Amino acid sequence: MGTPGTEEIRGALGRVPVDGGDGDRGLRRRALTLLAVVGPGLIVMVGDNDAGGVATYAQAGQDYGYSLLWVLLLLIPVLVVNQEMVVRLGAVTGVGHARLIMERFGRFWGWFSVGDLFVLNFLTLVTEFIGVSLAASYLGVPRYVAVPLAAVVLIAVTTGGAFHRWERAMFVFIAVSLLIVPLTLLSEPRWGQAAHDFVVPGVRGGITGDAVLLVIAIVGTTVAPWQLFFQQSNVIDKRITPRFIGYERADTFLGSLVVVTGAAALMMVADFAVRGTPAQGHFTDAAGVAQALGGHSHALGVMFAVVLLDASIVGAAAVTLATSYAFGDVFHLQHSLHRGFREARPFYLSYSLLVLAAASVVLIPGAPLGVITEAVQALAGLLLPSATVFLLLLCNDRDVLGPWANPRWLNVLAGLIIAVLLLLSGTLMVSTLFPHLDVGRTLLVLAGALTAALGPAAVRAVRHRTARPGIPVMTTAEKAAWRMPPLTLLQPVRWSAGRRAGMVLLRGYLLAGALLLLVKAVRLGTG
């Protein structure tokens, strides 16, 4: 991918010279530096509100009204915590997420993580083209025209050999996504109800297995594993180094606010679309929401279809690029948007083949597109604990991050996030095996079991406040200049028997969850 920091940062909104961007040069210089750095965090978050995201949030609004808005508020710290960790990993190490896992934990555990990513990303990319197909259908464009055309646009935008031109194209699509603002304002939003449901948890109609599946899908589409791989590699590709971490953190926080605001808007729009109609509580797919909006006003239906189309393109670009970055990491190939097609042929070929393969799948007639979309988002939610565990291990690896390693409070917060994700997936598994059980009571029982199992370890972590050995005290300047030594000079991590057993159990648990999710999806598709 090249050595970060040896050349200027050049983004869609500006550039920072090699010897520029210092934080002590006044407010104007800081603002210009922020504009130049902004991109990876914003793009990963807007790409997160992709076709699957639009469909999932629309389903939440159509079936449950505003009552699931509180889930989005809780996801803001999850987004910020996860993505901030990959920002540090990218800026400090200059090495992609997939390669770090392979080199630090061995190829077996590398494929444990990256293999899931490749499968999930391909399925996610299929949902992006499902979104293109549904949006084009509503707009009167045959999918056999729209889907291939979208594939060509994605390939053309990415294979130009200039990072800043690719980022500018993404910013154009991000600007189009702002169409959600007038769409929401024209959808008679109930601001008081929205404010209440943002802070007061509840589920309209009560907690059921289907509601838990939808909550997992919301988590999976809002905090997807591909985001970790994409942002870390994109930070490296943009040549962001430790002295710019503060700016990239701001970029990430801004993106998290954008993604949650957009998700809330989509829920509110979908609620308005079906309010008081027989379609309320009976989601089919995103095109159904567009048709319901069209019943109010043709312009509203068109605006929603354009938002869906735009989200599909941004999501497809980010998901495919995340996969190609990981492909380059795993096979030690040149993989950078700064390089032309001849210099990074396998990188661009892998990107193009992924796009064309996913587009071809969507052109097969008869697939239950709505169920596929929800199932893929839920699968992302199920696999997220595994991705977060590897992220947490890397961010506590002092050989990798040195003075940038996680503080203890962040480890406790990340551990809590993993526990909640496991709780949701466990509830889904139990409700699938025993569909007649009370889901709310099951959730409480599993929460108690998790608390009993993990609580003592969390208490010990909070009480143990002594400084960790091996991290020397550094000045701000020294810390900003610290970089990970070459990977070849680092000894691979050796896991204890207990940690290895825990990872094997986690793997088995997630595989069982994925199989039961398939059962749940089939039931929904035939129900």
In DSSP terms, 421 is beta-bridged to: none
For residue range 417-426, list pLDDT tens digits in order: 878 877 776 7
H or E segment to which residue 411 belongs: helix 408-433
User: Which of 503, 321, 455, 479 shows the shortest CA–CA distance to 404?
Assistant: 479
For residue range 241-275, list pLDDT tens digits in order: 998 999 999 999 999 999 999 999 999 999 999 99
Q: Quote the CA–CA distance of 368 and 273 in Å, as a whole number.
A: 22
**Chain mean position to CA 4:** 24
Q: Quote the CA–CA distance of 348 and 27 in Å, as a whole number.
A: 39
User: Which of 224, 208, 183 shows the shortest CA–CA distance to 46?
Assistant: 224
User: Which of 152, 129, 115 shows the shortest CA–CA distance to 352?
Assistant: 152
Confidence (pLDDT) at 5: 44
Confidence (pLDDT) at 334: 84
CA angle 335, 337, 339 (to 5 degrees): 75
Q: Helices (H) and strands (E) in the chain — how many of each?
A: 22, 2
**Chain mean position to CA 343:** 29
What's the Cα-to-Cα distance from 167 to each of 12, 14, 97, 153, rounded to whole Å? 5, 11, 21, 14
- Is pLDDT larger for residue 387 or for residue 325? 325
Confidence (pLDDT) at 3: 46
Tell me: pLDDT of 51 over 80: yes
Confidence (pLDDT) at 458: 53
- Two tokens at 411? 């480890």
For residue range 20-44, list pLDDT tens digits in order: 555 456 888 889 999 999 999 999 9
Tell me: pLDDT of 18 over 70: no
Q: At 115, is the pLDDT very low, low, confident or very high (cuts 50, 70, 90)?
A: confident
Asked if residues 408 and 464 have their Cβ atoms less than 8 Å apart, the reply is yes
Q: Quote the CA–CA distance of 173 and 179 in Å, as a whole number.
A: 11
The percentage of the chain sitting over the pLDDT mark of 70, rounded to a whole number, equals 87
- Two tokens at 74? 């809780």
Q: At 120, is the pLDDT very low, low, confident or very high (cuts 50, 70, 90)?
A: confident
